[in-house]
Amino acid sequence: MESSGSATFAFQAEIKQLLHLMVHSLYSDREIFLRELISNASDANDRLRFESLAHPELLGADTDLAIRVTVDPEAGLVTITDNGIGMSRDEVIEHLGTIARSGTGQFLARMTGDQRKDAQLIGQFGVGFYSAFIVADEVTVSTRRADAPAEQGVRWVSDGQGEYSVAAVARTERGTSVQLKLKKDADEFLRPERLRALIRKYSDHIAFPVRLVAGGADEIVNRAKALWTRPKAEISDAEYVEFYKHLTHDAEEPLVWAHNRVEGKREYTSLLYIPSAAPFDLWNRESPKGVKLYVQRVFITDQATQFLPLYLRFVRGVVDSSELSLNVSRELLQQDETISAMRAALTRRVLDLLDRLAEDGEKYAKFWRDFGTLVKEGLVEDHANRERLVELLRFSSTRSTRAEQNRSLKDYLADANPEQNAIYFLIAESPTAARSSPHLEAFKERGVEVLLLTDRLDEWVMQHLTSHEGKTFKDVRRGALDLPTGNADKLATEPREEKQLLKRVKQVLRERVDEVRIGERLRQSAACLVLGDDDLGYQMRAMLTAAGHEAPAIVPSLELNLDHALVRRLNRESDPARFERLALLVFEQAVLAEGRQLEDPAAFVARLNELLADLEPAVDKPS
Ligand code: ADP
Ligand code: MG
């Protein structure tokens, strides 16, 4: 090859660090280099095929897109060649010399030193090419863009130590070849049987033929058929799993998948997977999402976001349509009627898949831990499927152990007293605050289950749920409870003396509370705070103010437990100053018991101390 104008560049600092880590920590998984390089070759062929739809001249006479793995045992060389899109000089420098994507820093931060785990991270962060240096002393990339003349080839060479050189070369073939000069101890990869086995293991589903050229033989090693185009019955679970890993770079197996071919008016195939763990960037608004779209087997985009609603952004997979036009543009994709019909059908498919998953308690628990919040998002966004999404909810409750969210509404209703008209729930700051909340006392006594919600979005979500199976959702912090076997009789007639107490407490607390009343909720605690049915909740208020909105202050009512020693003590207190201190403390206890912050904690401490110092006059004796 003629070369000219060779220039030397230093790798970006991050790449140096990455190369070092990779070479030293991924030694035991080094065979992955082949998977990564074949995957890049396949991407390059995909991109050429896509661009040739608008520019058929790019394909020219060389219409059979393929990948070739060539071995030269004497020279110790393995070369992976494609006839895809190729790279220009600038692209070579950008793609093979810098890490453009912000994921790299996060990748480096996540390197654990554990070889297995680190190997699994590699593909996920788009640094696959550099894995070549795990097995090679020297890597030579020769490439030419499909739209450039033969003289505009580029050669990139590096030993992975910190620098690379780029030179102009003449290259008659379009596309890229990556030549590895194998390290001495990596000569196992010169054996054709070893390479053949690896290609079958990792690249069987690659849609292009992968040829192995060794010792005069030239054979197609993989099946060369896109997996989703094959009949379901012929595909093993292991193949589905391997394809998922190729698609997502996820090292863990998916929880479930569904492979469907729709025929008739709309023709398309979908293969959808539910991952077993959330990717690190699930909550990043800018991160890529969507399924991989093919039209008549031609790759169009791997971020087709139009086929599923946003809340299902954790679903990964492929949609291949025979009906959409090949030159379907992204703008068109937004409005197409076919697409909205497909979107509705695919959404139902995912919900079917989740129903199926829910039959396996353990797997579903895994799903719920990582993606439950998204199901809740869906409840707010997707009115058409709300009933189905409600069934998919899982809660922690007074019947579940610790914070585990494993109670469905079906479980709740099955175990509820048939007379019970409501589905009770409590929203709290934390699982611990929820479990010890004074609001639960009357429920515990009656054995009525209360769902415990502690996610940041729960108040917002629960606003959208009014009833289920004829039972209304009831926030136990609000209004009257309507408990199944009420004690309203006891409350109906408050003796005069107690009315007097309520009045005195209200005079102390003034605008801090709306009303002071005798509670139906309490057994062990002295007091609790109750919201009005239409009051804003604490989480909602925090969300609104965080978003810069004006939100009215929340003024709860104070419920007192007349049987509590402290309240009885309060009732007997004749000294106005001491009464005030005690009443404020009762109120502040109620705030603290909700797991919330006091407005003036220092004043609370001072008041408490005054009372403690003043303990002499004996406290109330239990009667
Ligand atoms: P990823 O494939 O996840 O983007 P890689 O590190 O494997 O990350 O590759 C980096 C980039 O280098 C690719 O995105 C692509 O732009 C370019 N590249 C690598 N191999 C090839 C190839 N065979 N043909 C064309 N471009 C390639
Ligand atoms: Mg890659």
**H-helix segments, 55-111:** 89-97, 103-110
CA of 496 to the centre of ligand 2 (A): 79
Provide the mean pLDDT of the chain. 89
Binding site membership of 44 for ligand 1 (Cβ less than 6 Å): yes
Is 98 strand, coil or helix? Answer: coil
Q: Which residue has the tokens 């628990």?
A: 365
Which residues are found with C-beta within 5 Å of the ion, ligand 2?
A: 40, 128
Q: Residues 354-410: pLDDT tens digits?
A: 999 999 999 999 999 999 999 999 999 999 999 999 999 999 999 987 778 999 999
Q: How much is the pTM? A: 0.80
Binding site membership of 127 for ligand 1 (Cβ less than 6 Å): yes
Q: What pLDDT, on the 0 to 100 scale, is given for residue 489?
A: 46
Distance of CA 496 to the CA centre of its chain: 57
What Å distances lie between residue 446 and 123, 451, 579, CA to CA? 55, 15, 33
The whole-angstrom separation of Cα 100 and Cα 82 is 23
The whole-angstrom separation of Cα 324 and Cα 339 is 9
Percent of the chain exceeding pLDDT 70 equals 90
Binding site membership of 46 for ligand 1 (Cβ less than 6 Å): no
CA of 215 to the centre of ligand 2 (A): 28
Is 243 strand, coil or helix? Answer: helix
Protein residue closest via CA to atom 27 of ligand 1: 40
Protein residue closest via CA to atom 16 of ligand 1: 95
The whole-angstrom separation of Cα 509 and Cα 151 is 86
The whole-angstrom separation of Cα 199 and Cα 371 is 34
Six token digits for residue 126? 């788009």
Binding site membership of 351 for ligand 1 (Cβ less than 6 Å): no
Q: Are 508 and 580 in contact (CB under 8 A)?
A: yes
What Å distances lie between residue 236 and 228, 240, 271, 352, CA to CA? 12, 7, 14, 21
Six token digits for residue 483? 């408990």
Residue 334 pLDDT level (bands cut at 50, 70, 90) = low
Is 442 strand, coil or helix? Answer: helix
CA of 250 to the centre of ligand 2 (A): 13
Residue 66 pLDDT level (bands cut at 50, 70, 90) = very high
Residue 493 pLDDT level (bands cut at 50, 70, 90) = low
Q: What pLDDT, on the 0 to 100 scale, is given for residue 98?
A: 78
pLDDT higher at 367 or 128: 367
Angle formed at CA 94 by CA 250 and CA 145, multiple of 5 degrees:
95
The whole-angstrom separation of Cα 240 and Cα 271 is 9
Protein residue closest via CA to atom 8 of ligand 1: 126
Binding site membership of 19 for ligand 1 (Cβ less than 6 Å): no
Protein residue closest via CA to atom 11 of ligand 1: 95
DSSP string, 266-334: S-EEEEEEE-SS--TTTT-TTS--SEEEEETTEEEEEEEGGGS-GGGTT-EEEEEESSS-TT--HHHHH
Q: Are 531 and 594 in contact (CB under 8 A)?
A: no
Q: Residues 525-564: pLDDT tens digits?
A: 999 999 998 899 998 998 899 999 999 999 999 999 999 9
Mean pLDDT for the stretch of residues 145-159: 97
CA of 73 to the centre of ligand 1 (A): 26
Q: Give the containing element (helix H, strand E) for 529.
A: strand 527-530
